[in-house]
Structure 1
Amino acid sequence: MTTTYISETYTTVRQLSEQICEPLETEDYVPQPVPFVSPPKWHLAHSTWFFETFLLKAYYPDYIVFDESFNYLFNSYYNNVGERTLRTDRGNVTRPTIKSVYEYRHYVDRHMQELLNELSDEKALEMVQLGLQHEQQHQELMITDIKYILGHNPLFPVYRSGYNLVNAVNQETGFIDIPEGIYEVGFDGDGFCFDNELGRHKTYVQNFKISKSLVTNGDFMEFMEAGGYQDFNLWLDEGWSWVNNEAVQSPLYWHKIKGEWHYYTLAGLEKVNPKAILSHINFYEASAFAQWKEMRLPTEFEWEVASGLLYWGQRWEWTNSSYLPYPGFAKAKGAVGEYNGKFMINQMVLRGSSVATSPHHSRPTYRNFFHTNERWQYTGIRLVK
């Protein structure tokens, strides 16, 4: 990669984060309604902290830190880098102001551009790439966190007119036959990947059929009308406890108004489109729906084997695979080793990408992962039989 290409890519990625926040009012930058949602201000600062901490401090001679307190405020989970504020307290950080955070971003960007003009160290260039991929992850989180913040405002405010994101429909129908056999899975080749994709290896799969289409809102309405949320026989035990403890009767953002289902979109409150692809359901709901249809969710390996024949990119698709290391996986030393490996417990793998995923940030081997009860991402269901 040439220094010009790296510099231009850096600028493009960094600008997109700020473009995502353009429709926000100052008050929208701060709320944290639940622990798993981070304020937009925190995302802007944290992604900047990454470049300051892992590149400018390490490779820019005589670099002066913008604000010493920012390491404590905007470190996420890197224990190797020092103490940090609790995740649940991110919404309490009303100071520094959003104005200061933007000044921080622009300060770091200026110094990063100076660094990139002369950077040739291979490890440093790899860290730049990781930082850009990291920021793209946070761009998707910003979109979904903003939706959660505004979607729980009783006025259901519009984030951006026409920016619905949930109206896409399936392009194909039917099932694809995949023969049994030994297949290779995992990343192989040039280009970037995360460490959890490495360790390409062989895996055996039985023959199966995988749906060309994702489950739609209309499909899920039939499940709801058939008493899907009331039939304990369809649910995993943990899922049934979740349904009852949370009093869940519909996907996230759905509201029944005057006898009709509506859902909150980033374009405001709209009637549910039955033909559109279902979104914002968790693993428990996906599993229960599959049980109701007398089918199942694919494993992550089945999904990857079939991915070249599928139309994807609309929703993160739940798989029936636990998030575990591939053969030969080893955590890198230091803070970078905390990026993926320590989260390989009590989470399920999702494959594909979503309408909120940043450009050029998806590939068939990408392994996303979330807890079984989480549904604020653009998640969906693809069935296997």
Structure 2
Amino acid sequence: MFKFGLSQYYQAVPYPLTDDKTLNNLSLHLGYEVKFLPAFSLALSGHFPLYGVQAPFRESVQNTVMDAQLRWFVDMRRRIRKGKSANNFSGNYVALFFNMPGAFDDDPKAGIKLGFQRRFLNHGYMDFSFAIFKSVFDYHSYYGLATGLSFSTQASFGFALGDWKKSAVAPLCEILLCDEFQPQQWKIRLPEITVGYYLNRIRTGVAFERKVKASSWTINVQLDAAMNRGFNFLRYDHTVDLYDGNTVNQRTFKYAQVYSREGIVIFSVQPRYYFLQKRQRLNGKGGNGLSGWYTGLNTEYSYYKGWHGGWALAGGEFRTETNTIQAGPLAGFQLRLFRRGYLDLNTSYNFKQQLGDQKTSFGLRSNIGVGLAL
């Protein structure tokens, strides 16, 4: 099975929230998985981090994470007894994994995963796992097995191509929420959690969306929050004297390794217009729910407070507290999955103003939400 999509995965280089160029810790995912026994598979993948448009392409290349997993689908025997295919790569699994970060930092990780993978609509897949891992160098530590141990949630979704038997007619309404009048919904974003010796981070969010009467307009109100404590690479130009035994040479670095304690809260209100719903209703194809393509307006307020410390910083540390507003046109796509799941992708081009500062700017902001819908 070939897989192409997006992943919320381990990043080779963690950035603090002030300089987090990764879109919700997302990467472009390209993978291949092959069964060599009915209940065992080998999964190989690459995770190309999605950085901002201002970041050089080589930064994404050198920070690409390569991953190898040996998976055991623990419920495959039961699926076979029920007459279900053993070759569709769906089920709950336990995996041993090894991943190698890009050229930026030679620090491979290894550990175990508990997860589940599901296929849908012949060419779709989603994969969620809980990973326990550590640097391979920490396995040789004299300070015990717990040294450097980390825990994290990891997820991916996208398109899949394989040699499984296709369904003649895809059971669409078993996957999507079809032909139901849906006036409102709560959305709880799948949290990104990392707990470990070097980094502790959590990001999550909740949203409420409601239709404006029976029209194609909705109001989406969303609250996102993130907390970060640990070692990060902060965008900070600095020069270091390097001594090679004979001479002293100066070298400039773009990033400084710092220890950060920070948090951010983002509140947004988005009027949305699902512009294809009227046509869908006229064609008898539903169009009464909260799924489909939309345009609208993004309005956003964010509050950030943080502290960063490191030997490369002037004075050894600095503190930051900001209040920022943004507003701009919005375009996106939302889909309800498996009755209680949702996928929401959007991009907006915003005017940005930091309160108390005369400087203004314009820029793109992308947001991808996957989680539980109620």
Q: TM-score range by the shorter chain?
A: under 0.3
Q: Say which one has the larger Rg.
A: 2
Q: Work out which structure has the larger RCO, using CA pairs closer than 8 Å and 6 or more positions apart in sequence.
A: 1
Higher helix share: 1
